Structure 1
Amino acid sequence: MARDNPVSRRTALKLTGAAASTALIAGCSSDDGNGNGNGNGGGASEYEAEPEDEIHFEATTGDWTGIKPSEIEGSSNPTLILEEGETYYIGWTEGNNTEHNIEIWDENDEVVEEYETEEVSEPDDDQILEVTATSDMVAYVCDPHSSQMHGEIQVE
């Protein structure tokens, strides 16, 4: 997948992450009463998934908002911790009438093992990927909104 922009997605995401880290250090991480201290007002910022887990998001253009399981409900772009070789079901079940898709990327911002869906404005069963975790996986992304809708995957 060729890119015309001289600034790679990874570089843009690193800059976004640096800005978010600066905001966090600046005081946005105070205990806001939700018990997780991550300042996002929702669920956990990391989720250690169990094999066969169904992980569902709302596609909002600004981020992937966790819906299911309850541990990530309301969380923005939570990090998914997966076990290598195990199967998971990852996708989006709610949207904002804007075209989205979900893709699993490697460190070069390339789709891993064809784990990608078509862009649609209303999600259906085709927006849930059955994924077998591999060490190549580093992110789940909405390609049209990859600078905001980008969550980390850690495979252990």
Structure 2
Amino acid sequence: MPLDNSQSRRRILKLTGAAALPAVLAGCGDGGSGGNGGDESGNESGNESGNESSGGGEALEPGEIELGGEVQAWQGVAPDQIADQENPTLTLQEGESYEITWENLDGEGHNIQILDDNDEVVDDYETEIMDQEGETQTLEIDEVTSEMSTYICEPHQGTMSGSIEVQ
């Protein structure tokens, strides 16, 4: 029997939507993450803070790394391997030197610290807190060591935290 009246069509749409809602909420819809916190391919990469990869695990070339600092996350600026990523994983070469330059994007108080697995600052690699929007700071890392595991903004470490992988 054909569905000519709008009441029947609305009822079918309502029932179809109600049946699909639990599947979407469970992460079973197309393009979802599968509900496992991973990426679209189902990989569970990154850590609790939602870090993204620095480009397939390839180490960044020694030199300058640029980030933007705002309360919701560190924003990758340069090099291209981390551009446009939130809290990008910094894959660094052991024994090499890097400069991490970051810009205050929101006028809130931020700094940067390099931590070890015990959440302690490694070799005094930290900056003072600055709160001027547009201001920049550079943290010079003379020599990357295997104890470096995380970079954070101390006042906002719940959202501004990224992994460091040493190769």
TM-score (structure 1 length as normaliser): 0.69
The one-letter code matched in structure 1 to 2:147 is: D
The one-letter code matched in structure 2 to 1:155 is: V
Q: Give 5+ residue unaligned stretches, structure 2.
A: 1-31, 46-51
1:103 Cα deviation from its structure 2 partner: 0.4
Q: Give 5+ residue unaligned stretches, structure 1.
A: 1-22, 32-37, 39-43
Give the corresponding residue for 1:110: 120
Query: Which of 84, 92, 117 is 2:102 aligned to?
Result: 92
Is the helix fraction higher in 1 or 2? 1
How many aligned residue pairs are there?
121
Q: In 1, Cα distance between the equivalents of 2:153 and 2:162?
A: 9
Query: Which of 5, 23, 26 is 2:35 aligned to?
Result: 26
The one-letter code matched in structure 2 to 1:135 is: S
Give the corresponding residue for 2:156: 145
After superposition, the CA RMSD in angstroms is: 2.2
1:62 Cα deviation from its structure 2 partner: 0.9
Per-residue Cα deviation, 1:17-56 (whole angstroms, up to 9, x for no partner): xxxxxx844277338xxxxxx9xxxxx622521122x111
2:59 pairs with 1:51: no
SS in 1 for 2:131: coil
Q: In 1, Cα distance between the equivalents of 2:139 and 2:65?
A: 10
Conserved 8 A contact 1:95-1:121: no
Per-residue Cα deviation, 1:79-123 (whole angstroms, up to 9, x for no partner): 111111100111312420000000000111111000000001126
Conserved 8 A contact 1:105-1:138: yes
Give the corresponding residue for 1:76: 86
- The structure that has the greater radius of gyration is 2
2:82 pairs with 1:60: no
SS in 1 for 2:159: coil
Conserved 8 A contact 2:151-2:162: yes
Query: Which of 93, 111, 131 is 1:101 aligned to?
Result: 111
Q: In 2, Cα distance between the equivalents of 1:119 and 1:145?
A: 11
Aligned-pair identity in percent equals 40
SS in 1 for 2:139: strand
Give the corresponding residue for 2:13: none
1:152 Cα deviation from its structure 2 partner: 0.3
Q: In 1, Cα distance between the equivalents of 2:162 and 2:101?
A: 12
